[in-house]
Amino acid sequence: MCGITGYIGDNKTTDILIDGLKRLEYRGYDSCGIAVVDAKNALYLKRVSGRVDALDKLVAQEPVKGAQSGVGHTRWATHGAPSEDNAHPHTDCSGRVVVVHNGIIENYLDLKEKLLASGHKFKSETDTEVIAHVIEEKLKSLHVQEKAIRSDMLEPVFFEAFRRALAELKGSFALSVIWAACPNMVLAARMYSPLVVGLGKGENFIASDVSAFLKYTKRVVFLNDGEIAAVKKDGVDFYTFQGKKVAKESVTIQWDSTMAEKGGYKHFMLKEIHEQAESVENTLRGRLLPLGGNILKAEMGLSAEAIKSFSSVQFIACGTAYHAALIGRVLFENFGIPASADVASEFTDRAKLLGKGTLVVAISQSGETADTLFAVREAKAVGATVLAITNTVGSTLTREADHVLYTHCGPEIGVASTKAFLGQLAAIYLLAGHFAAARGALTSSEARSYAENLLKVPRLIEETLAQEKEIAKIAQGFASSEHFLFISRHVNYPIALEGALKIKEISYVHAEGYPAGEMKHGPIAIIYKGMPLLAVAPSGRALDLMAGNIEEAKARGAEVVAIVDEDSRKTVKASRYITLPKTEELFTPLLTVIPLQLFAYYVALAKKCDIDKPRNLAKSVTVR
């Protein structure tokens, strides 16, 4: 996830662009830049590998006067590590077409190959840069030589070249584009990534979300997928990608800027819980079909042959990422691939037993967790191959791993991990599917069904989130409880652990997650009358045993909240129910964790805890 801005008007273009980027930094902050054009068609481009404050200082050293249009970008890297060269804006060979982009161009490698073959020179490793060169090609195909073209033709030609370029792009994009020959128009387009236009007086704005320009105007127009905005000082016109003009209504935003950064949510954690469908969708996008591993070769350098060569898989991670690792273990074993999962800080002895045939999968949102990095080094020391699953391009983990599979969740601001966890699960399901298909553990029809189940998940997540109000009500009823117990079995046992961790992290109360089968072996003794016990009990092989555990807990006075689907609800006798949409048992963790995240959030909210920044915790634990 990145933040893009655009501006056209007579005020201080660079100040407005930079101010907008500062308000979009929660979307990405590893590098940033702006490009502006003045009335004499001179273009100024400034980029830094770092935060917007550093860009602000750089621009202040060489102030640009008279610029009337420009674009800006604050980056969360997906392709190409954070660096000045990879920072946006990106330009074409002429340096006159300038692009900022939020999203992922899935076919950028194909486009880049063709463009290189026709003589284009690239300056970055990003997918975005190809967009500038494709526009350049389209301008050429319209036989445009800037100097030769009549001034009144510049805008229509720029628009047509941009429109034709969009047709070449596959994937997700929100774009803001300028052409130095055409300083009176900024073009924007949206496909799967958010984009909004702000309507001012004698000036207009473009941004990833309204927080970038709310201080200047509250009148906005939200673009839909497949729409273009041609933004000029005195007005904005909207078109489809096919060039058909469309009438769009403006709305007036009631938020202030701070609320806008959180998308109107009270906390980043709640906003990020609601971004989980997008996190899963973006992590799966362009990587799922056909299952079998080859699609991963281009991105990760992991061939189907290599996938077949591993004798076992060993997961290592910490905290929430470890819970994802535990689900990975169940998934891989489900496909007949020996797997284990260890807390990274307890890996030393196991590391000594690893062989070359082991694939070590290190999971880390930040890619900077000291325990996980230490465990990776122990694995490398014995010759194991290391694959990283991380959300942070250019992080230490990516430099030490042999292969990297990125989750595409955008920055996670809340200390309590939610959307990054769902992204990690999506990556693990993706990996397990490719491994299973490559090793013949899935027939082609089973592989198709596996992929179809995964592709349904974002919609099922949205359906699950629709129950937020009911979940909040249940949670508020337990806000004064001092102990919580979470139980489940099989692929949802790690979800019980994750639910307990969420409550501990943000409400500061004692909670334990347990494999339900263990209750009889001791923990059932702690149950007291009124104790909240959350039981994850979807339909599947564990249901009957779960129903028995729930009965036993209730018989000892527990207040049982059962996370069920419409079928398992008929079997389970709980005190309260949270009913999720039905999916195959193997995929249920992608849904069952969501009510537990919301439950923890609303307990913490009722206790007035500092939800985004819980006491004693850091977003990334960079010490052992």
Give the nearer residue to ligand AGP in terms of CB position, either 321 or 442.
321
Residue 505 touching ligand AGP (CB under 6 A)? yes
- Is 2 marked active-site? yes
Residue 126 touching ligand AGP (CB under 6 A)? no
Give the nearer residue to ligand AGP in terms of CB position, either 439 or 607.
607
| Residue 68, both tokens | 């009337």
From the CB of 459, what's the least distance to ligand AGP, in Å?
Answer: 25
Strands (E), 318-471: 339-343, 358-364, 385-390, 403-406
| Residue 506, both tokens | 């943000």
Give the nearer residue to ligand AGP in terms of CB position, either 363 or 474.
363
Q: Which of 3, 72, 103, 319 binds ligand AGP (CB under 6 A)?
A: 319
How many other CB atoms are found less than 10 A from the CB of residue 471?
23
DSSP line for 5-58: EEEEESS-HHHHHHHHHHHHGGG--SEEEEEEEETT--EEEEEESS-HHHHHHH
Q: Which of 372, 396, 492, 568 binds ligand AGP (CB under 6 A)?
A: 372
From the CB of 420, what's the least distance to ligand AGP, in Å?
Answer: 7
Can you give the length of the chain in residues? Answer: 624
Contacts with ligand AGP in 437-496 (CB under 6 A)?
A: none
Instruction: Find the part of the chain contacting ligand AGP (CB under 6 A) among 115-123, 127-135, 414-422, 566-574.
Output: 414-422
> Which phi and psi (to 5°) does residue 563 adopt?
-95, 110
Residue 416 touching ligand AGP (CB under 6 A)? yes
From the CB of 253, what's the least distance to ligand AGP, in Å?
Answer: 31
Q: Which of 107, 250, 575, 620 binds ligand AGP (CB under 6 A)?
A: 620
Helix (H, G, I), strand (E, B) or coil at 220: strand
Give the nearer residue to ligand AGP in terms of CB position, either 140 or 619.
619
Residue 398 touching ligand AGP (CB under 6 A)? no
Residue 507 touching ligand AGP (CB under 6 A)? no
Q: Which of 248, 380, 582, 619 is catalytic?
A: 619
- Is 233 marked active-site? no
Which residues make beta-bridge pairs with 45?
35
Give the nearer residue to ligand AGP in terms of CB position, either 282 or 320.
320
Residue 549 touching ligand AGP (CB under 6 A)? no
Q: Which of 78, 320, 398, 579 binds ligand AGP (CB under 6 A)?
A: 320
Q: Which of 318, 327, 491, 611 binds ligand AGP (CB under 6 A)?
A: 318
From the CB of 493, what's the least distance to ligand AGP, in Å?
Answer: 17
Q: Which of 2, 32, 409, 609 is catalytic?
A: 2
Q: How far apart are CA 414 and CA 391, in angstroms?
A: 14
Contacts with ligand AGP in 330-369 (CB under 6 A)?
A: 364-366, 369
Give the nearer residue to ligand AGP in terms of CB position, either 68 or 391.
391
From the CB of 347, what's the least distance to ligand AGP, in Å?
Answer: 14
Helix (H, G, I), strand (E, B) or coil at 600: helix
Q: How far apart are CA 431 and CA 436, in angstroms?
A: 9
Give the nearer residue to ligand AGP in terms of CB position, either 9 or 423.
423
| Residue 89, both tokens | 């804006």
Strand 483-488 relative to strand 510-515: parallel, antiparallel, unpaired?
parallel
Residue 294 touching ligand AGP (CB under 6 A)? no
Contacts with ligand AGP in 137-176 (CB under 6 A)?
A: none
Q: Please, what is the Cα angle at 68 between 64 and 74, to 5 degrees?
A: 70
332: nearest Cα among 429, 421, 235: 429
Give the nearer residue to ligand AGP in terms of CB position, either 279 or 365.
365
Instruction: Find the part of the chain contacting ligand AGP (CB under 6 A) among 74-82, 163-171, 315-323, 516-524.
Output: 315-323
Strands (E), 211-302: 219-222, 227-232, 235-240, 245-246, 251-252
From the CB of 368, what's the least distance to ligand AGP, in Å?
Answer: 7
Q: Which of 417, 464, 488, 592 binds ligand AGP (CB under 6 A)?
A: 417
> Which phi and psi (to 5°) does residue 6 adopt?
-155, 150
- Torsion sign over Cα 475, 479, 480, 484: positive
From the CB of 321, what's the least distance to ligand AGP, in Å?
Answer: 4
- Torsion sign over Cα 267, 269, 273, 279: positive
69: nearest Cα among 164, 188, 163, 153: 188
Q: Report how many residues bind ligand AGP under the rule CB under 6 A.
A: 15
What are the CA-CA distances from residue 243 to residues 100, 163, 226, 514 (Å)? 21, 7, 10, 58
Region of residue 383 (phi > 0: left; psi between -120 and 50: alpha; otherwise: beta): left
Tell me, what amino acid is at 320?
A: T
In the numeric block, the tokens 């016109």 are attached to: 237
| Residue 532, both tokens | 């909240």
From the CB of 168, what's the least distance to ligand AGP, in Å?
Answer: 36
Q: Report, as residue numbers or ranges, the catalytic residues.
A: 2, 619
Residues that bind ligand AGP (CB under 6 A): 318-321, 364-366, 369, 372, 415-417, 505, 620-621
